[in-house]
Structure 1
Amino acid sequence: MDAPASSPPEDAGASAASSTTALDTSVADGIVIVDKPAGVTSHTVVARVRRLAGTRKVGHAGTLDPMATGVLVVGLNRATRLLGHLQLADKSYDATILLGATSSTDDAEGEITVAATPEALASVTASAIEAAVEAYRGPISQIPSKVSAIKVDGKRAYERVRAGEEVELKARNVTISRYDVLDIRTVAGGIEVDISVDCSSGTYIRALARDLGADLNVGGHLTALRRTRVGAFDMSSAHTLEDLGESFTMLPIAEVAADTFPRFDADAEQAAAIRTGRPLPGLKLTAGVQTAMFDPDGTFLALYEPHGPLAKPTAVFVS
């Protein structure tokens, strides 16, 4: 799926140039931005990173469907705990929609259930496509794809669909901050529309394809999907699995924390308290946001937030 949720460690910073580390990755803490290939699951990518890094403590944020490619944010060791604190709600995608056919899964991996007539397709103009897209810009209410990973009575929606069950999912509010039509072209059996989208977490690009086809009365489904950005992480810092196999490249946890959060450099006495998660009085931290706490040597220790006269930890990353 074009997936909104973080996975647990067993199976997200900045787009700055990544740092090749000579550290033993089995004990190093950091973030790896993987350019996920098509045809494999996000879980498979995590398993490959585990082998390359020599550690089992690997987790990812924001699952991608097997057919999808692009940015997958992967954490190593203690950085797996940082994933849930990073601002990864906003995402960007490049995709191709095929108008003219409805798919059982809203994408190319499903069976075609309804195909439009040539007469119906001939009535779909570029201006009609642009007008239909306009309705999906900004805050919208979207019904997720039936083959999403959303749980229905404790069971994933896609599992129920595969078992032959009828699934009805509730609409959810999402925001499409950018929805650009890049190209429109006629192909055998339909019309291909290349799009580029910036959206909030929880948005299903497959559902955008489905709904665009429905609005134009010809049906539609997704045929290609590439995630180009998750939060501040984009393709400029992404590495293929092949590249990582030749030279394992990661963003150290301290670098990610310094680039993502306001920074506080503690003195030795404060650092000792932070290491054990003790509240600190008298610190002027920014209200409403987490602050990355560093010791005098530049080691990232913890995330703290102000609570009245005290600064208290939200997560401690050292023992």
Structure 2
Amino acid sequence: MHKNNVTELIIIGLFQDPGVQRVCFVLFLPVYLATVVGNGLIVVTVNFSKSLGSPMYFFLSYLSLVEISYSSTVVPKFITDLLAKIKIISFKGCLTQIFFFHFFGVTEIFLLTVMAYDRYVAICKPLHYTTIISRPVCRLLVASSWLGGLVHSMIQIFVTIQLPFCGPNVIDHYFCDLHPLFKIACADTSVEGVVVLSNSGLISVVSFFLLVTSYIVILVNLRSHSAEGRRKALSTCASHVMVVVLFFGPAIFLYMRPSSTFTEDKLVAVFYTVITPMLNPIIYTLRNKEVKNAMRNLWCKKDSDSE
């Protein structure tokens, strides 16, 4: 372990202007609350509604749980920092934030891939669906997603703690991430940068390839379905595709190219740390009659029970 003189870090933040920061606070606080409430509603609805017993909703409830956790590793600190003159985080706190950010982020990537596999089996092998995607298999796929996220995150942290941090302690970002932290290390980080890029990049590219492949196969298969069957299958897939594009687009833009200090990078990061987790429950519920009906039934039942 290298000598490390840095015990706390100063975060530059998203914008320097105090007025703009206050406006951001007013904008982002409701967005974060909507993320927690919206995804929380999905978790509760899926777990308490008998009509949402299919594997698709089982995976959706875990995706929503991961969304809440993923957003909560960055956004609460970011929002409170918007009102602070000097934004400080301890070095250990910074490493903790990086660990959980990557843990939940990669778990989400794996869950999205699992959900694409679920749609592929449902549409391309409907007669064998219940045997292939049985409840034990669902649990195994979810557990594997969490485990994959954990292994990925441990590698990222192991690479980072090997580096010496001896002087500069100002991070040019609004939360702790690997590229901004590597810039203030007192050593050449090109090798570590390659390890981190291949670790994040390989997972993103392979998962994205699997997702695209599964949807190409689904589209080819749908040609033999009736018009009504095609419409129903496409409506369940469309929500998933929208979520995948919203999540992977910005992430690939940031991690699959050399890092820079542009404000655009921070704004792109805002999109996938703050905005996307809020949009997911909206996308899944607005496009899905079963989820909307289940929510209505569940809350109407609760209202009648409380009367």
Q: Do Structure 1 and Structure 2 share a fold, with TM-score over 0.5?
A: no
Report the structure, 1 or 2, having the larger helix content: 2
Q: TM-score scaled to structure 2, two decimals?
A: 0.22
Higher relative contact order (CA 8 A, sep 6+): 2
Report the structure, 1 or 2, having the larger strand content: 1
